[in-house]
Amino acid sequence: MATTTDKATRSDIYTTITNRIVEQLSQGTLPWLKPWNAAHMAGRITRPLRHNAQPYSGINVIVLWMTAEMSGFISPFWLTFRQALELGGHVKKGEHGSQIVYASTFKKKDATEGGEEIEQEIPFLKTYTVFCADQCEGLPAHFYQLAEQPKEKIERIEHAERFFANTKADIRYGGNKAYYAIEPDYIRLPPFETFRDAESHAATLGHEMCHWTRHSSRLNREFGRKRFGDEGYAMEELVAELGSAFLCADLHITPEVREDHAAYIESWLKVLKDDKRAVFSAASHASKAVDFLHGLQPKPVE
């Protein structure tokens, strides 16, 4: 059974991380769009990576992106104190780690008033501390390997176009707005030629593709939205915004800062201030949306 201390700790985690994001949003900054860095061999755009190169997901992506930006870290790799030692390195003296979270469930058996035994899944959240590879010494060379000078800007992003085509989503072009229509189940985008560049097109499509996953035949995601601009609407937009940022990182493209993002920031601030758990939930749903899109890709031929 969770103790009062456990509950207080969880509450502090939600509050601390949400307050950091609210502070960034209040300054007009989207914290999930900040640390695009061309300096490391892992790529100019990547999710934060565990010591074994597996990407983080959910709220930890945002937390580590914010930390990397504020601290000027280049390496995308993050390790625990013990993992650094196991890899033959160590954390530099005086370095402070970053707190991230681990969420899971455990099963608990209870008896009803009628004596029937039932099993419940109880969610729990705990924290642990990680350090960027930039804060460590003696790690294998690939943790520090710097990239060559960036090449010329890519004009067409063929791998991103293949990725979206593999989803078999109904994508229609025309008009001057980008949106997902849930009832007829299609995505509408302005003509390709009207976008600033190929990355803007891909990032915008990624945002709408994340909305596309909410359909009842896919992830069946619903936040009780009843009208344009209400809290349910803001929550779904936050999921799509985070999902697009995660997907852009996976596809190695620069995310798009939407012209209307200032209006969305105002609605997100209200949601985040009213519910300290909202961004945790949104980040989790965003990761599920991106995982769903990855799951529609052809399996590699062995």
pLDDT tens-digit profile of 14-34? 898 899 888 888 877 777 765
Burial 95-132 (b: 16+ CB within 10 A, else e): eebbebbeeeeeeeeeeeeeeeeeeeeeeebeeeebbb
Asked whether the predicted pLDDT for residue 245 surpasses 70, the reply is yes
Do 96 and 156 reside in the same domain of the chain? no
Residue 20 lies in a domain: no
Q: Which domain holds residue 261?
A: 152-302
Q: What Cα–Cα distance (Å) separates residue 79 from each residue in 147, 177, 245? A: 21, 42, 23
Do 144 and 41 reside in the same domain of the chain? yes
Higher pLDDT, 118 or 200: 200
In the prediction, which pLDDT does 246 show?
93
Do 99 and 183 reside in the same domain of the chain? no
Residue 159 lies in a domain: yes
In the prediction, which pLDDT does 68 show?
87
**Measured distance CA(59)–CA(46) in Å, rounded:** 15
Do 184 and 228 reside in the same domain of the chain? yes
Residue 2 lies in a domain: no
Do 218 and 297 reside in the same domain of the chain? yes
What angle do helix axes 261-274 and 231-251 make, rounded to 10 degrees? 110
Q: What is the mean pLDDT of residues 159-171?
A: 97
**Measured distance CA(151)–CA(223) in Å, rounded:** 43
The distance of Cα 268 from the centroid of its chain, to the nearest Å, equals: 15
Q: Select the highest-mean-pLDDT range: 64-78, 108-122, 207-221, 227-241.
A: 207-221
DSSP state of 31: G
In the prediction, which pLDDT does 147 show?
67
Which of 65, 36, 34 has the alpha carbon at shortest distance from 48? 65
Position 2 confidence tier, pLDDT thresholds 50, 70, 90: very low
Please tell me the least confidently modeled range out of 37-46, 122-131, 180-189, 276-285: 37-46
In the prediction, which pLDDT does 26 show?
83
Do 201 and 248 reside in the same domain of the chain? yes
Do 101 and 160 reside in the same domain of the chain? no
In the prediction, which pLDDT does 71 show?
85
Of 99, 133, 150, the domain-final residue: 150
Residue 23 lies in a domain: no
Do 48 and 97 reside in the same domain of the chain? yes
In the prediction, which pLDDT does 36 show?
47
Mean of all residue pLDDT scores within the chain: 85
Do 185 and 278 reside in the same domain of the chain? yes
**Phi, psi for residue 104 in degrees, rounded to 5:** -155, -170
Residue 15 lies in a domain: no
Residue 215 lies in a domain: yes
Do 185 and 146 reside in the same domain of the chain? no
What's the domain count of the chain?
2
Q: What is the mean pLDDT of residues 159-163?
A: 95
